[in-house]
Chains A and B, each alone.
Chain A
């Protein structure tokens, strides 16, 4: 029987932004990994572009390259998805252990961050494990495996710039979804549109559009990730030592350098800071009303049976595939 899951959450703009997410199997509530968090900090390695082409020689290179091959001509290798899920769960757990989150008085399902809320924060953790979520996105969007690695890179960059953007149970799914969408649009010649990604990822079309725009803005519209950096992310995934948003990597300093180069006028910078403060204030208003009014009993059921929809075609239609 196919279950339909809703990511229910008060959106930043004061209305619910929930969307369907069809899953082939029942998914348990989000369970962070129990493995101990690693202390090894994450750095991107040499800034210089390799002249030797796409990848280094040797067995390590072959292993990394194998991770990026399209599995059976259909999608991302299960091993890569497993590695990413494990790394994210470890990072999420580490961030929780650092008491970035405190349980809300509203109920055990509601966890309100001590830092500022962003458009990526939900009201409660989505009831789907990260690995299941990754498998679902990979299965239906059929994006290049590289897109997931790029999404990780974006998450790391955000975490370095702003501790409030580190992955947590409340934001990790949306960060992953928006990052993968942007990476697919940037690198893949055939990709599905935002509405389709929203249906696959459990958010509405207006919300996925907001997530996309906000992630673009936070990344300063700089989406290209040099192969050298992606290779470094892959190596750390394989080694199990990926720590998101930690350490002064060259990409963080490059980010600052890039911003100084980007030619934005001072008035433009002022405008963007005003925009940020208006977002923050709207978040404050929403979080106050949420904690005051939401109760577990009032919360919409996260699952409901849907006997009619037992086909395996996935959400959306062929028209939603672009170019």
Chain B
């Protein structure tokens, strides 16, 4: 790890610390995610394996954080993995609150729109490559403050869905951003779980506060049902057959325009489609990219950034292959 000079600790996860560091050779800033391998019983954590494997496949997109390399070292005679990422200054949670917390300090509507668009592009890229993120939340979205660029990060809970596998865990996604089918115990779910999370994040960007801040799975469902109405077989076929379904209090859906008075009509419609109870009816990331809510956004600027980035990457690869 002589190639990197640690500057400061910027975070700590389940399996180790995250450092801001400088690449000694290039002078560029990087983020080093240290993964301790001291748990003799467990070996390399599955979250680390998944993150490395998925990011190596997805890092082409400008809206997914780039994994630059993996370094395998020894510290105190114990094996240790360092994941070397591109460095971004902040995450969406901190970025949102930088000019004051709460609804009294709303974000400019065009900034919200740009962030939601970039988030959907990142999620669409994951889904296009057969990957569910399963842990989308503001803390897992990194923001480049200068370029106003958002990148999806932390794929430790991610999973490929393009191969037939056994049932899925329902212990995914931080509670506040968890889809109702997962909360109700579905063991087979798909890309719509990520789109529900995107809806929650969009709502949080608009309101500057979490939309469904439950403190248990039961309370989380109550929060959702109170706002969107209690689901039934009419609007969600099969809901009563889910493992954790029982007779819930009956609420009528509220008008989202009253909850989000500053959000334009097209934004309300997009959010409603992200919050469709029936996963089969929920809008996909691919569809959402083309939603009319984004019609007045300078998509070309965002798309050009992406294309240029990918072009540069391809040029690098071509040069490396020619050597």
Given contacts A185-B44, A190-B169, A212-B43, contact A146 B163 (CB under 8 A): yes
Q: Interface readout for B299-323 with A: 1 if CB under 8 Å, 0 if not?
A: 0000000000000000011001100
Task: State A55–B84 Cα separation when bound (angstroms).
Answer: 35
Nearest CB in chain B: distance from A148 CB, A: 12
Q: Which of A274-323 contact B (CB under 8 A)?
A: 275, 320, 322-323
Whether B166 pairs with A188 at a CB distance below 8 angstroms is yes
Task: State A174–B42 Cα separation when bound (angstroms).
Answer: 17
Nearest CB in chain A: distance from B43 CB, A: 4
Stretch at the interface among A34-42, A111-119, A255-263: A255-263
Whether A265 pairs with B25 at a CB distance below 8 angstroms is yes
Residues of A within 8 A of B25 (CB): 265, 267
Nearest CB in chain B: distance from A252 CB, A: 15
Residues of A within 8 A of B72 (CB): 213, 217, 272, 275
Nearest CB in chain B: distance from A153 CB, A: 11
Which one of B46, B54, B163 contacts A323 once the chains associate, using CB atoms below 8 Å? B46
Whether A224 pairs with B160 at a CB distance below 8 angstroms is yes
- B162 touches A (CB below 8 Å): yes
Task: State A263–B59 Cα separation when bound (angstroms).
Answer: 11
Whether B40 pairs with A195 at a CB distance below 8 angstroms is yes
Whether B40 pairs with A187 at a CB distance below 8 angstroms is no
Q: Interface readout for A48-83 with B: 1 if CB under 8 Å, 0 if not?
A: 010000110000000001001110000000000000
- B186 touches A (CB below 8 Å): no
Residues of A within 8 A of B316 (CB): 261
- A208 touches B (CB below 8 Å): yes
Given contacts A268-B69, A323-B169, A323-B171, contact A186 B317 (CB under 8 A): no
Whether B43 pairs with A144 at a CB distance below 8 angstroms is no
- B68 touches A (CB below 8 Å): yes
Task: State A190–B172 Cα separation when bound (angstroms).
Answer: 12
Which one of B50, B84, B166, B320 contacts A70 once the chains associate, using CB atoms below 8 Å? B166
Whether B164 pairs with A186 at a CB distance below 8 angstroms is no
Nearest CB in chain B: distance from A78 CB, A: 17
Residues of A within 8 A of B167 (CB): 189
- A209 touches B (CB below 8 Å): yes
Q: Which residue of A lies closest to B45 (CB)?
A: A185
Given contacts A54-B162, A186-B49, A263-B68, contact A224 B57 (CB under 8 A): yes
Residues of B within 8 A of A263 (CB): 67-69, 84
Whether A230 pairs with B163 at a CB distance below 8 angstroms is yes
- B260 touches A (CB below 8 Å): no
Residues of A within 8 A of B165 (CB): 144, 146, 187-188
- B168 touches A (CB below 8 Å): yes
Whether A54 pairs with B46 at a CB distance below 8 angstroms is no
Chain B count of residues within 8 A CB distance of the other chain: 42
Given contacts A54-B163, A146-B165, contact A209 B57 (CB under 8 A): no
Residues of B within 8 A of A146 (CB): 163-165
Q: Which residue of A lies closest to B56 (CB)?
A: A222
Nearest CB in chain A: distance from B309 CB, A: 14
Whether B79 pairs with A194 at a CB distance below 8 angstroms is no
Task: State A266–B161 Cα separation when bound (angstroms).
Answer: 35
Whether B169 pairs with A193 at a CB distance below 8 angstroms is no
- A264 touches B (CB below 8 Å): yes
Given contacts A222-B56, A322-B42, contact A187 B160 (CB under 8 A): yes
Which one of A209, A268, A320 contacts B37 once the chains associate, using CB atoms below 8 Å? A209
Task: State A221–B160 Cα separation when bound (angstroms).
Answer: 16
Q: Which residue of B lies closest to A187 (CB)?
A: B165
Task: State A206–B40 Cα separation when bound (angstroms).
Answer: 7
Q: Which residue of B lies closest to A224 (CB)?
A: B53
Residues of A within 8 A of B57 (CB): 224
Which one of A65, A226, A258, A322 contacts B164 once the chains associate, using CB atoms below 8 Å? A65
Task: State A260–B320 Cα separation when bound (angstroms).
Answer: 6
- B297 touches A (CB below 8 Å): no
Given contacts A186-B53, A222-B53, A260-B317, contact A194 B43 (CB under 8 A): yes
Given contacts A185-B46, A268-B3, A322-B46, contact A262 B40 (CB under 8 A): no
Residues of B within 8 A of A49 (CB): 130, 162
- A238 touches B (CB below 8 Å): no
Task: State A265–B26 Cα separation when bound (angstroms).
Answer: 10
Whether B41 pairs with A195 at a CB distance below 8 angstroms is yes
Residues of A within 8 A of B320 (CB): 260-261
Given A206-B40, A224-B160, output 20 extra A-B contacts at Cβ < 8 Å: A70-B166, A144-B165, A144-B166, A181-B43, A185-B46, A186-B50, A187-B160, A187-B163, A208-B43, A222-B56, A224-B56, A227-B163, A260-B321, A263-B84, A265-B23, A267-B25, A272-B72, A275-B72, A323-B46, A323-B171
A-B contact pairs, 28 of them (CB 8 A): A54-B162, A55-B164, A65-B164, A144-B165, A146-B163, A146-B164, A186-B50, A187-B159, A188-B165, A188-B166, A189-B167, A193-B42, A193-B43, A194-B43, A195-B40, A205-B40, A205-B41, A216-B49, A217-B72, A221-B56, A224-B54, A224-B160, A225-B163, A260-B320, A261-B316, A262-B69, A264-B69, A323-B169
**Chain B interface (Cβ < 8 Å from any Cβ of A):** 2-3, 23, 25, 37, 40-44, 46, 49-50, 52-54, 56-57, 67-72, 79, 84, 130, 159-160, 162-169, 171, 316-317, 320-321
**Chain A interface (Cβ < 8 Å from any Cβ of B):** 49, 54-55, 65, 68-70, 144, 146, 181-182, 185-191, 193-195, 205-206, 208-209, 212-213, 216-217, 221-227, 230, 257-258, 260-265, 267-268, 272, 275, 320, 322-323
